[in-house]
Every structure is written in structure tokens, then in C-alpha cells.
Amino acid sequence: MITGTEVAQKAKSLLLMQTIPYVLGGEDTDGMDCQGLVEWTLRQLGMEADYRGTNDMWRSLLSEKGTIAQGVAKYGSLPLGTLIFIHDNNGGEPKRYQGDGEGNAWHVYIKISDTMLVHASASNLIVTTRTFADEAIPNGGPNAYGLIRGVTYEVTPVKTAVAADVDSAADTAFTAAAQAWSPLYFRLTFKTGCMGSGVRELQTGLNRLGCTLRVDGRFGPVTEEAVITFQREHGLEADGVVGPKTWDALIAAVNA
């Protein structure tokens, strides 16, 4: 029997090794991506793990899943060894999954303590940690959880009635929550060369207004051109830099 605590401890052991680089498609200590980190952890514990990305994990690996709020409502605190995902419904999932209603789970972490997650970070280029307090970080941050099938978690549902209600409404509530788009990046500035979740939200918003950008979190020439066009159409300075005024206009346009 493998426990959630064992999953957490094994994942945490990666931090005690020499720096492990981020390598897209990597699955061992010479280099790994976020999917590879999970697969390495499970294999070290004797489990079979061969998935086609984080979206495959979201669909095939889990015995239970939902929003962070649903997990906390059910258990009080998400157990060690829980997989934590960044999940949205912006249509960015691989084509083979589009239309199945499961959305896009595009990054995964493992909860290794009450306040910490471990993951392979494409932006930091290494296996590293981030703080986590069992609260969703909206618009590009961790917002979903999943319990691994075949792993026993040390959990006690808060209330049976609440747990049953959360289970029965999980899919509908998760979809509804993930479809909200109201960026919290409006106090930040983005321009050519920027990368990350804020750029993904920018690209998502522009696509909702008719653009056809690849939502990859990279602020390149195509994204800059789309920003300039949007700024011109909305009477803004067309400099390709997304600051508070451009965010305000974009949010208003998306929600109009």
C-alpha cells in the first residue's frame, strides 16, 4: 500500500539532490518536466506511470478531482501527496481532448508539506518549490486538486453530507468556476519578451475578442501585434505594452 505521505516524501527527496534541470519530456534526475516529476515519483514507489502529458494525468490517473475549494470543503486540508493542477477551460488542451468537457490541465505540482508544492518549473528551469496554503491562486495559478488512483491518503471528510454534496456537484461546479475570466494581473506590465501565466491570460482575453493567438505564455511578435491592434481600436497608446489602462480596456471588452 502506497500512502500520500510516501508520495510527498519521495517527491521532496528531489530537492535534496543536486539541482535538477527542467527538460521538456524528461522523466529522470538528469532532467524532467512537471509530468516527468510525477511519473518519476510514482515509479520510485513501484507504480506504473506512462502518461501522455498532464492532460492525460488529469483524465486517467486520478480517483478524485475538483477545485481547491471543493477539496478543502471536503477534507479541511488537502492531504500530502495530492496532485495540484493549473486547469482552465480556454480551449488550450491538445486536439485529442477537445470537446470532452475536461478542460486543459497544463501544469502539475505535488503537495509535499502543509505550505509547499514541488514542481519542475519551465520559467525557473529547475525542479523547485512554491508556497501553497490550500487556496486557489486564480488566473494562472494552482486551482485544482487530484488524488492519485491506487494511493491511500490520510484524510477524514469534514462532514459526510458536505462530502457527498461536493462529489455529486464536482464536475459542474469545477467547470463553472474555471470558466470565469477576470485577470488579477491588471497591476502588472507585460511586453515583448515576457513569459508566464499573465501572458497566457492576456492571450486568452485577446482570443475571446476574435484573435487566434497560440496560448503559450510567450509574449512574442504575434502577441505584440495583436495588442497594438487592440490598443488602436480602443483609443489607447499603441505601444504594444500591456499596462493598467490596456488591462482595464481588455477586461471591459471581454466582459461586455
CA 95: distance to chain centroid? 18
**Residues 189 and 242: beta-carbon distance below 8 Å:** yes
Domain 197-254 sits in which CATH superfamily?
Answer: PGBD-like superfamily/PGBD (1.10.101.10)
Tell me the C-alpha distance between 216 and 8, whole Å.
29
- Where are the chain's structural domains? 2-178, 197-254
88: cell is: 482552465
Q: How confident is the model at residue 197 (pLDDT cuts 50, 70, 90)?
A: low
Look at domain 2-178 and name its CATH class: alpha beta
Average confidence score pLDDT of the chain = 84
pTM of the model: 0.63
Predicted confidence band at 26 (pLDDT cuts at 50, 70, 90)?
A: very high
Q: Where are the alpha helices (DSSP H) in the chain?
A: 4-12, 34-44, 54-60, 68-75, 160-178, 197-208, 221-233, 244-254
pLDDT tens by residue, 135-182: 888 767 899 999 999 999 987 665 543 334 444 443 443 333 334 444
Would you say the CATH fold of 197-254 matches that of 2-178? no
